[in-house]
Structure 1
């Protein structure tokens, strides 16, 4: 069983407003991220915020640890509920090729080398990530908070995207 997790706890500081709710083709970005994962997962959750009908998970061990806090929440949730894998995506990734998602699942543990927040992780890595985040609960940025470094420590495979990924960081990234 695969748990899908939308990582959405960021401050949207470069965007200037709530990026997850910014509209693209009449839908919020977070809805596009959910739609990208839905065909591949048993259940979807949102990490770091409330959104719509989906269950919400608070970042672990607390907010302010960047995307790894959301991934830690998803892994913990998955491990305690019998999921074997967690497929993660950023709320600002509205158009991910399905072939890339399928490749990440097939190679799991694996992450997109172009956007490490997009990955498929083993649920039993929850304890390893919790240990890594212990002592970093102050919100201080450090190498321990790097998704890429954590992924490499788990032995995850870096998978390149088949084409440049569309990622929204500023309002200018959205088509008019």
Structure 2
């Protein structure tokens, strides 16, 4: 008690609820608001202050070197070339273009396993044969993979270990 008389600080009698009635406890350092409400009010004040200063600069036409304030520039005339629109009659539309558009729509659908046609979404596994598989069919022996792993391994080893031959004995 003596320490509080000397410093002039008083301990709060009980917990103080936030002024905005959000259900959390506030403190005297945050103007009897919780930390979230306090941050929101400070952010709103800064935005209002920024908007007022930018409107003032626009009205007065003055520019400042402060990087936070918007820069007002003069309007620039831009010439735009006219665009010609081509209308294609329905008779000229080929069946192949319709088939291509249907194929792209079919591919854009949900991703499915190539073996069991189960939806896989983002958890699908891409195989070296180029197909997408579920967790059950992700291994090459489970989905009858046509990729030649043995030839691919041979090529990788051949590229990684080039043949080095030294010249035969020097000619005298």
Q: Per the shorter chain, which TM-score range?
A: under 0.3
Larger-Rg structure? 2
